[in-house]
Amino acid sequence: MKHIQWFPGHMTKAMRMMEDSVKLCDGVLVILDARAPAATYNKNLKKLFGNKPVLYVLNKSDLADEGRAKGFCALIERGGAYALPLCATDSSAAKRVGAKISSMLSEKHRKDEEKGMRRPDRLMVAGIPNTGKSTVINALSGAKRAITGDKAGVTRGKQWIRCAGFELLDTPGTMPPSFENQYLARHLAFIGCINDDILDFGDLSIELLGELSRLCPEKLTERYGISDFSAPLAMLEQLCKRRGFILRGGEFDYERGAKALVDDFRKGRIGRITLESPEEYENFGV
Ligand SMILES: Nc1nc2c(ncn2[C@@H]2O[C@H](COP(=O)(O)OP(=O)(O)O)[C@@H](O)[C@H]2O)c(=O)[nH]1
Ligand SMILES: [Mg+2]
């Protein structure tokens, strides 16, 4: 697959904007994708957060492997940060995140009380594109979206949304993904965190089949009747055969097969899968 890159200029600009926002907050919610927590984590951001408490939300947990998602959460919490598997579209999402935020900020609450003043808790949402930042913000703020400005008439002032028990910066910090590791960069492509226009679905499907055949061959058998795992191209052909993706003349319609595979994976139709194993990431999130 093509080497995936991010322009350094974008990186610097995104980081600078995030840095300004973080300063105004008591804590940060970093949204990761529970199907690929390591790939959707950008360790460069850790330094921006300074001493601010961080809650890592492993979102889209409805599409992910439950045990692995929990394993990553345990790793993160062992390192001193907070973590929560979440399905942001679930009706219980706001309540679960709210409870976690409140325990994360208990130290601030105690200090506020000592000083005899209770400032509102202010948080921001951050994460790489497509992890569900907007969905989380909508879930936390509810339908009404009460917006509270820092100062009326100051257009440059940040907008805060009043949520149950805290205020949320209305615009999420969009952070660039880290592409230092091409194995993890591929995971970003699989889950749809990279603009599809720059991706070759043929290549992508071959890589995905290779990885899924090592991780969960039984799921490929169940959905596509794949039984010969000797080579990814042969797997794609079995998929095409099963789904009837055959061109006039009898050739396999590889392109259709590739698209179907990636689409099925992204929508969770192959099963609940987390591509990375917590065992491989000893010091994750710390
Ligand atoms: N299955 C599933 N889809 C989700 C979840 N959260 C968000 N999405 C979907 O993921 C896509 C990207 O979400 P969005 O909030 O726009 O991501 P953003 O780019 O980080 O703001 C949308 O199609 C959402 O509906 C979730 O917990 N589960
Ligand atoms: Mg968004």
| Three-class SS state of 160 | strand
> Could you tell me which residue, 165 or 43, shows the higher pLDDT?
165
Atom of ligand 1 nearest to the CA of 135: 15
- pLDDT band, very low/low/confident/very high, at 177 (cuts 50, 70, 90): confident
Ligand at shortest distance from the CA of 130: 1
Residue 60 tokens read as 């889209």
Torsion of CA 193, 195, 201, 204, to 10 degrees: -40
Among 169, 161, 177, 141, residue whose Cα is nearest residue 20? 169
Q: Where are the domains of the chain?
A: 8-179, 182-266
| Three-class SS state of 30 | strand
The CATH label, of 1.10.3720.10, 1.10.8.590, 1.10.10.10, 1.10.1580.10, for the domain at 182-266 is: 1.10.1580.10
pLDDT tens-digit map of 9-35: 777 887 888 899 999 999 999 999 999
Instruction: For residues 41-58, give the mean pLDDT.
Output: 90
Instruction: For residues 166-190, give the mean pLDDT.
Output: 91
What is the DSSP pairing of strand 159-162 with strand 167-169?
A: antiparallel
Cα 130 to middle of ligand 2, angstroms: 7
The per-residue pLDDT of the chain, averaged, comes to 91
Contact 101, 109 (CB under 8 A): no
Ligand at shortest distance from the CA of 132: 1
Strand partners, 223: none
Atom of ligand 1 nearest to the CA of 127: 20
CATH code for residues 8-179:
3.40.50.300
Residue 77: its H or E element: helix 66-78
Atom 19 of ligand 1, residue of closest alpha carbon: 130
For 2, which DSSP code? P
Least confident of 7-11, 75-79, 111-115, 218-222: 7-11
